[in-house]
C-alpha cells in the first residue's frame, strides 16, 4: 500500500470520518429549526440568526397583488440586480394578479422567466444556495422555497498567462471563475464524452471544484481513485489549488511534483485526450492534471507547435540544462577540491589564479552565491514588476562584479552560479525547477565532503527515489522505467504525429489516436481494433 493509502486508512480508523458525497456540499453544523411551521416570520427569524452581523445580507419583504406575503434573501454584490427586478419580482407580481393563487403559478405553470432555479424545503440547503450567490424566495404559508441562480460578480477578463509564455499557440488562459473555465474547455472540446463531475470541498468556504475527464479514454480506476482521495479532504477552507494537491498526492514528503498544474486550456485538453484527469477549482486559474510523470513535466506546448526535429532538439537542450542546473556547482566543487588532475593544466592555472586572493573555501563561495541568487530571484517576484527585472539582472551583475573586485568571490564561481541559475529557468514546470534548486544544496555538501563519489551517491539516491515514486498508480519514470517501447516516442524526443498513433498505455483505455486513413498510418501487427 502506498504512503497515501496507509495515512488515509489510519486517519479513517482513528477519526471515523465519513467521506463527503460527490456533488453535494459537506455537512455543516447549522442549528436546526425549532418548529416545522411554514410561517414566513419564523423562517426569516431563523435566517436572520444565521446571518447575524452580516452587513451585506439583504432581507426584502414584500406583498404580492394577490395578498401573499413574500421575502427574498440574497447577498448584495453577488447577484444581478437587473435580473432580480425584471425577471423575478415583476413576473411574480404579474402572475399574482392573473392567478388566484401564486403557488399554482409558480409550481405548476412554471411561468417565471428565470430558468435556472431549484425548489427545496430544507433551510440548510437554502442557506447554502444563498452563500453560493443565489436569491432565495420564501412565500408565507408554503414550506417550499425557490433558489434562483442569478449570480453576478466581478471577474477578470481572459488574457494570456504570464507564467506559461509560448511562441506559437493559443493566447487564452483560465481565470478565477469556474463556469468560464468550463466554457473554455467545452468550446474547444466538442464531445459529449467530456464529463465534468462537481464536488464541494471546505466546511467553511464550500468551494466547488470540477473533476473533468473524457469517458472512454480515461481509465475508470483513475477516476475512482481521485474521487476517493477528494472525498477525504476535511478542512475548513480551500483557498488555492495547492490545498487540493497536498491532500491527494501519493508521497507528501517528496521534493518532486506529483501533480501537474497549468493555466492554459490547450494543455488541459491535450492531457484529457491522453487519458488524464483534470481538477478545476473555483477561485483560482490553476488547473491540476494527474497522473504525471517526469517526462510530462519537461514538455512544453511549443514542442508540438513546431517542426518535430526542432522541437526534439529544444527538448534535448532542456534535459541537458536540467542536469547542469542540478550538478554544475557540485561538479565544480568536487573537481577543484578533490580531482584537480581532471582539469586541463592551462584551465587549472586560470582557476587557481582567480581564487588566489579569495579567503573562503570553494564550497563557501558556492553557498554565498547560490543563496544570494535565490534571494534576488525571490525579490524580483515580490517587488513591483516595473523594477523586478532590473533587480534580478542588474542586481546580480552589480553584486557579482563587486564581490569579485573585493576578493570575496572568484570570477569562475560567478560564471558557474550564473549558468546554473539560467539553466533553472529553462525547466518548463516551476515546481520541478524548484525541486532541482532545493536538491542542489545537499549535493553541494556531499561534493565538498566526498568529491565525485558524493555526487554519484546523491544521483543514485535520487534515482532510487524516482523509481519508487508513483502518481495515482503510474510510475514516475514511465515509460522508460518500466520500459514501454510503444510509449517512448514522446519522452526525450518528439516523433511526428503520424508515428504516435496510439495514446500512452499508462493513462488511457482507448489507445487509438489517429485514424487509419491518416498520412503515415500503418496497421500494427497483431493489434485488434
The half-sphere exposure of 214 on its side-chain side, counting CA atoms within 13 A, is 21
> CA dist 163 to 264, 278, 316, 378, Å?
10, 19, 22, 15
Cβ neighbours, 10 Å, residue 234: 16
How far is CA 275 from its chain centroid? 17
Cell numbers describing residue 384 = 513591483
Residues whose CB is less than 8 angstroms from the CB of residue 36 and which lie 6 or more positions away in sequence, other chains included: 143
Domain ranges of the chain: 31-148, 178-292, 308-448
Cell numbers describing residue 355 = 581564487
Q: What is the pLDDT of residue 25?
A: 47
Report the 3 state secondary structure along 308-360.
HHHHHHHHHHHHHHHHHHHHHHHHHHHHHHHCHHHCCHHHHHHHHHHCCCCCC
Query: Phi first, then psi: what are they for 414, rounded to 5°?
Result: -60, -40
Comparing CA positions, the residue from 128, 430, 479, 133 lying closest to residue 293 is 479
pLDDT in tens, the chain (529 residues): 555 555 555 455 444 444 444 444 444 444 444 446 788 889 999 999 999 988 889 999 988 877 788 899 999 888 888 888 887 887 777 766 555 555 555 655 555 666 678 888 888 889 988 988 899 999 888 888 889 888 887 778 888 888 888 888 888 899 998 989 999 999 989 889 999 999 999 888 888 999 999 998 999 999 999 999 999 898 998 988 989 999 999 998 999 999 999 999 999 999 999 999 999 999 899 999 999 999 999 999 888 988 999 999 999 999 999 999 999 999 999 999 998 888 888 888 888 888 888 888 899 989 988 888 888 888 777 777 666 666 666 666 777 788 888 888 888 888 898 899 889 889 999 999 999 999 999 999 999 999 999 999 999 999 999 999 999 989 999 999 888 888 888 899 888 888 888 888 888 877 777 766 666 544 444 444 4
Query: Are the CB atoms for 284 and 241 separated by under 8 Å?
Result: yes
Return the percent helix, strand and coil in the chain, to nearest 5: 45, 15, 40
Residue 361 DSSP class: -
Amino acid at each position: 500500500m502506498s504512503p497515501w493509502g496507509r495515512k488515509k486508512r489510519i486517519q479513517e480508523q482513528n477519526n471515523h470520518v465519513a467521506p463527503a458525497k460527490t456533488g453535494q456540499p459537506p455537512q455543516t453544523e447549522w442549528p436546526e429549526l425549532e418548529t416545522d411551521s411554514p410561517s414566513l416570520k419564523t423562517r426569516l427569524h431563523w435566517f436572520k440568526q444565521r446571518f447575524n452581523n452580516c452587513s451585506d445580507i439583504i432581507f426584502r419583504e414584500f406583498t404580492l397583488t394577490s395578498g401573499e406575503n413574500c421575502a427574498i434573501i440574497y447577498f448584495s454584490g453577488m447577484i444581478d440586480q437587473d435580473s432580480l427586478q425584471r425577471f423575478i419580482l415583476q413576473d411574480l407580481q404579474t402572475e399574482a394578479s392573473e392567478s388566484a393563487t401564486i403557488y399554482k403559478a409558480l409550481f405548476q405553470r412554471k411561468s417565471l422567466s428565470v430558468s435556472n432555479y431549484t425548489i427545496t424545503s430544507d433551510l440548510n440547503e437554502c442557506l447554502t444556495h444563498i452563500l453560493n450567490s443565489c436569491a432565495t424566495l420564501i412565500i408565507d404559508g408554503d414550506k417550499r422555497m425557490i433558489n434562483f441562480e442569478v449570480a453576478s460578480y466581478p471577474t477578470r477578463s481572459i488574457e494570456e498567462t504570464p507564467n506559461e509564455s509560448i511562441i506559437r499557440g493559443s493566447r487564452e488562459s483560465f481565470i478565477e471563475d469556474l463556469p468560464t473555465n468550463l466554457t473554455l474547455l467545452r468550446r474547444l472540446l466538442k464531445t459529449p464524452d467530456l464529463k465534468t463531475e462537481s464536488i464541494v470541498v471546505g466546511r467553511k468556504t464550500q468551494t466547488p471544484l470540477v473533476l473533468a475527464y473524457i469517458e472512454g479514454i480515461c481509465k475508470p480506476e483513475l477516476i475512482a481513485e481521485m474521487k476517493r482521495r477528494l472525498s477525504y479532504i476535511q478542512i475548513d477552507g480551500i483557498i488555492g489549488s495547492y490545498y487540493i494537491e497536498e491532500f491527494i498526492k501519493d508521497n507528501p514528503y517528496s521534493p518532486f511534483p506529483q501533480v501537474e498544474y497549468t493555466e492554459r486550456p490547450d494543455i488541459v485538453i491535450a492531457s484529457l485526450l491522453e487519458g488524464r484527469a483534470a481538477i478545476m477549482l473555483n477561485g483560482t486559474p490553476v488547473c491540476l492534471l494527474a497522473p504525471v510523470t517526469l517526462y510530462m513535466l519537461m514538455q512544453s506546448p511549443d514542442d508540438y507547435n513546431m517542426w518535430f526535429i526542432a522541437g526534439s532538439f529544444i527538448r534535448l537542450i532542456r534535459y541537458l540544462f536540467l542536469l547542469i542546473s542540478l550538478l554544475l556547482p557540485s561538479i565544480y566543487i568536487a573537481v577543484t577540491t578533490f580531482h584537480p588532475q581532471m582539469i586541463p593544466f592551462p584551465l587549472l592555472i586560470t582557476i587557481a589564479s582567480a581564487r588566489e586572493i579569495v579567503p573562503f573555501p570553494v564550497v563557501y563561495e558556492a553557498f554565498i552565491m547560490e543563496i544570494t541568487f535565490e534571494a534576488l530571484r525571490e525579490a524580483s517576484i515580490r517587488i513591483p514588476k516595473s523594477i523586478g527585472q532590473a533587480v534580478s539582472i542588474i542586481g546580480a551583475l552589480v553584486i557579482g562584479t563587486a564581490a569579485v573586485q573585493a576578493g570575496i568571490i572568484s570570477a569562475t564561481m560567478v560564471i558557474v552560479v550564473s549558468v546554473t541559475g539560467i539553466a533553472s529557468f529553462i525547466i518548463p514546470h516551476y515546481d520541478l525547477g524548484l525541486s532541482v534548486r532545493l536538491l542542489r544544496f545537499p549535493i553541494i555538501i556531499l561534493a565538498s565532503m566526498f568529491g565525485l563519489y558524493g555526487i554519484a551517491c546523491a544521483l543514485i539516491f535520487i534515482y532510487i527515489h524516482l523509481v519508487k515514486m508513483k502518481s495515482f498508480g503510474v510510475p514516475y519514470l514511465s515509460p522508460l522505467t518500466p520500459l514501454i517501447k510503444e510509449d517512448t516516442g514522446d519522452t526525450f524526443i518528439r516523433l511526428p504525429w503520424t508515428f504516435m498513433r496510439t495514446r500512452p498505455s499508462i493513462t488511457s483505455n482507448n489507445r487509438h489516436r489517429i485514424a487509419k486513413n491518416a498520412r503515415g498510418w500503418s496497421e500494427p501487427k497483431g493489434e485488434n481494433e
